[in-house]
Amino acid sequence: MRKPLLADRVVQLEHVVREQMAEIDRLRAAIDQKDAEIVALVDWIAGEKDALSALQAAYTDPRSTPTNKIRAAASAIAYERSKPASVTVIADFRSRVQNARSRTLELRKQEWTRQAPLDLDAPTPPTILGSDHEGEALGPEPAA
């Protein structure tokens, strides 16, 4: 009774090994196909003038998958449309402040020259405290 169990077990294992070998052969064929695709793709890219041409051909090819079209288009878009030029403004803040101060000083000098000169012999006007500048108070007398 023991021999038939062993024989059945050997038959089962042989069947499993055949299935595994068939799967290995199928996977090797798939790898060979992918290798051939890679070689064809590299040859195709090398035949193009530049990478942008290759990307454009990839996303316009009707045989390409939607995923490959999207990837190729996303990679190519940065090179198809020009970006606006960037403008860098360099301002020397110290010189701008110095120029503004000198312009202000010149304007003040012009204003001073337009004003009438001070008359140093003119009487001094009274102050808000009411003094006549000779020591006498003009307002109410202080309490005693």
The confidence score (pLDDT) of residue 104 equals 94
Give the relative orientation of helices 2-47 and 51-60 as an angle to the nearest 10 degrees.
120
Give dist(CA 129, CA 2) in Å, integer: 135
pLDDT band at 80 (very low <50, low <70, confident <90, very high): confident
**What is the torsion angle, in degrees rounded to the nearest 10, for the CA atoms of residue 62, residue 68, residue 70 and residue 76?**
-90
32 touches 42 (CB < 8 A): no
Mean pLDDT confidence for 105-126: 85
Taking the whole predicted model, whether its pTM rises above 0.85 is answered as no
**pLDDT for res 76:** 84
Does residue 45 contact residue 51 with C-beta atoms inside 8 Å? Answer: yes
pLDDT digits (tens, 9 = 90+) for 65-77: 889 888 888 888 8
